[in-house]
Chains A and B, each alone.
Chain A
Amino acid sequence: MTRDEIKDLILEIIEDIDEDAEFDGLDADAPLRDQLDLDSMDFLDIVMELRKRYKLQIPEEEYPELATLTSCVNYLEPKLKDA
């Protein structure tokens, strides 16, 4: 997957969690949690969805890598390069 595709994937998963999520003006380098109505359980939903779709096992200590949209892409790019 390309970086843009990964970004779209993350936004699609977030939209699935909260279809009212507003992505206009989203700062890719700022924490998603500060900009969207997301809490720790929602991040676990993102982790679960990646596991279900791509069999990705994200260890708990690496959850902080999902904090921003850019960090998500950076973290997932090598893992999803063949996806």
Chain B
Amino acid sequence: MSDLSARERFVITGVGLTAPGGANDLPEFRRRLLGGVSGISTIDLRYMGKAPAGICAFEETRYRKKKENKRGTRAGCIGVYCAGEALADAGIDFSGYARAKTGVYIGLTEHGTVETENEVYNISQFDYNVDYWTHHHNPRTVLNNPAGEITMNLGITGPHYTVGAACAAGNAALIQGVQMLKLGEVDLALCGGISECVGSFGIFASFKAQGALAEHPDPTKASRPLDRERNGIVISEGGCVFTLERLDRALARGAKIYAEIAGYAMNSDARDFVLPYGPRQSECMRLALERAGMEPGDITIINTHATGTLQGDIEECKAVREVFGECPGTWTNNTKSSIGHAMGAAGVLELAGNLSSFTDNMIHPTINLDNLDPDCALPGLVAGTARKVDRVNAVLNNSFGMVGINSVIIVKRFVAN
């Protein structure tokens, strides 16, 4: 892709995030990931009781009033914070970009579950009399809600919508941002993903019913992808929004460039509601590599999607091994071991967690990997402690989701022509 003009290259120039355990900006998030710190604690949910979960604590009123947070949704609150932080990090104040040419694309695994559950509970206090059902329900549960709350907060009048793509949604929204920039629909894209899933007992209960909800007496050890003792997913909330710009515009304003989008792909298993399918995942990785004009050995870090389910982890590892075989300069890691599964935010939060590799040349470790499942053995698996390498050139980020949706994004170190 290096022969592309700067108008056809797209770069990440700002990162705003909140991750479980109190990491509310990229440097802190990176510090915790490199240190192998778990962000998982325990939640006590209506009907469900206690479960390990990833909970965020950030300054909710940094970018809007408490009144707006009360009216809106948790996803909107997370989104407004992340978008505000991304713009601040990028140094974008809309003097150089028009709000009408700015798009907001937010990936969601689901939306409205939390609000609906809360409202059903609310009317249960009034003998299920729907006269007590809130007038806020519809604006809170329309699927564009979190993206729309961001536009209202920032006065952005360009397009906004959310991308529903199960747990591939964060990547899917980033891809959407790239595509809209390519088409010239927008000049600036705020794209990322959000999860408010920890507010829903139903999401926990459903994973539990499926036998896929992690349990462990120590919540910080509950998220253990690739480990023999893994027993399911740790559900997390969180968010991450990137500012994505055309390279020429970014260079013209002297922007800090985290990474360049090198390639991406999405495809569908077309098989099963919940079971992932390794062969389609490897096809997706190969397609992303092809579009990036890269060989497997060009990838320095593969950030796995692995969530800690028995079969899901094995399927992905088979797919990774099939594509990458023995690439001596390629390393693998897993971010969910530290932050759990942030659902719609997972892809972008995990990508963000690895972006700093281009500057510190470190690979953050997979934690809680005490006893590697032989079926999950991957070449170059970084476990326990962070690894220093000579140079990180490219990161491949996997994100897969229910009903058979796969997404792969490759970002590379920005090198000027």
Residues of A that sit less than 8 Å from B by CB: 17-20, 37, 41, 44-45, 48, 51-52, 57
Q: A17-B70, A52-B126 are in contact. Are A41 and B65 (CB under 8 A)?
A: no
Q: Is the CB of B136 within 8 A of A52?
A: no
Sample (17) of A-B pairs whose CB atoms are under 8 Å apart: A17-B67, A18-B65, A18-B66, A19-B67, A20-B66, A20-B67, A41-B71, A41-B135, A41-B136, A44-B135, A45-B135, A48-B132, A48-B134, A48-B135, A51-B131, A51-B132, A52-B126
Besides A18-B66, A48-B134, 17 other A-B contacts (C-beta < 8 A): A17-B67, A17-B70, A18-B67, A19-B66, A20-B65, A20-B66, A20-B67, A37-B67, A41-B71, A41-B135, A41-B136, A44-B135, A45-B135, A48-B132, A48-B135, A51-B131, A52-B126
CB distance from B65 to the nearest CB of A (A): 6
Q: Is the CB of B131 within 8 A of A57?
A: yes
A residues less than 8 Å from B126 (CB atoms): 52
- Chain B residues numbered 54-97 whose CB sits less than 8 Å from any CB in chain A: 65-67, 70-71
B residues less than 8 Å from A17 (CB atoms): 67, 70
Q: Which 4 pairs between the two chains have the least Cβ-Cβ distance?
A: A18-B67, A44-B135, A19-B66, A20-B65
A residues less than 8 Å from B132 (CB atoms): 48, 51-52
Q: Is the interface of B mostly helix, strand, loop or mixed?
A: helix
How far is it, in angstroms, between the C-alpha of A19 and the C-alpha of B69 when the chains are bound?
12
How far is it, in angstroms, between the C-alpha of A51 and the C-alpha of B70 when the chains are bound?
19
Most chain A beta-carbon contacts within 10 A, residue among B65, B66, B134, B135: B135
Residues of B that sit less than 8 Å from A by CB: 65-67, 70-71, 126, 131-132, 134-136
How far is it, in angstroms, between the C-alpha of A53 and the C-alpha of B105 when the chains are bound?
40
B residues less than 8 Å from A57 (CB atoms): 131
How far is it, in angstroms, between the C-alpha of A15 and the C-alpha of B131 when the chains are bound?
23
How far is it, in angstroms, between the C-alpha of A52 and the C-alpha of B132 when the chains are bound?
7
CB distance from A13 to the nearest CB of B (A): 13
CB distance from B141 to the nearest CB of A (A): 15
CB distance from B40 to the nearest CB of A (A): 32
A residues less than 8 Å from B70 (CB atoms): 17
CB distance from A53 to the nearest CB of B (A): 11
B residues less than 8 Å from A20 (CB atoms): 65-67
How far is it, in angstroms, between the C-alpha of A43 and the C-alpha of B67 when the chains are bound?
14
How far is it, in angstroms, between the C-alpha of A44 and the C-alpha of B134 when the chains are bound?
9
CB distance from A65 to the nearest CB of B (A): 18
How far is it, in angstroms, between the C-alpha of A17 and the C-alpha of B71 when the chains are bound?
9
CB distance from B120 to the nearest CB of A (A): 16
CB distance from B130 to the nearest CB of A (A): 12
How far is it, in angstroms, between the C-alpha of A19 and the C-alpha of B131 when the chains are bound?
26
How far is it, in angstroms, between the C-alpha of A48 and the C-alpha of B70 when the chains are bound?
15
A residues less than 8 Å from B136 (CB atoms): 41
- CB-nearest residue of chain B to A47: B135
CB distance from A10 to the nearest CB of B (A): 17
How far is it, in angstroms, between the C-alpha of A45 and the C-alpha of B134 when the chains are bound?
8
CB distance from A24 to the nearest CB of B (A): 18
CB distance from A17 to the nearest CB of B (A): 7
CB distance from A37 to the nearest CB of B (A): 7
- CB-nearest residue of chain B to A44: B135
B residues less than 8 Å from A19 (CB atoms): 66-67
CB distance from A73 to the nearest CB of B (A): 24
- CB-nearest residue of chain A to B135: A44
A residues less than 8 Å from B71 (CB atoms): 41
B residues less than 8 Å from A45 (CB atoms): 135
How far is it, in angstroms, between the C-alpha of A18 and the C-alpha of B70 when the chains are bound?
9
CB distance from A57 to the nearest CB of B (A): 7
B residues less than 8 Å from A18 (CB atoms): 65-67
A residues less than 8 Å from B66 (CB atoms): 18-20
- CB-nearest residue of chain A to B66: A19
CB distance from B9 to the nearest CB of A (A): 43
CB distance from B20 to the nearest CB of A (A): 27
How far is it, in angstroms, between the C-alpha of A17 and the C-alpha of B134 when the chains are bound?
14
- CB-nearest residue of chain B to A43: B135
CB distance from A31 to the nearest CB of B (A): 18
- CB-nearest residue of chain B to A18: B67
CB distance from B119 to the nearest CB of A (A): 12
- CB-nearest residue of chain A to B131: A51
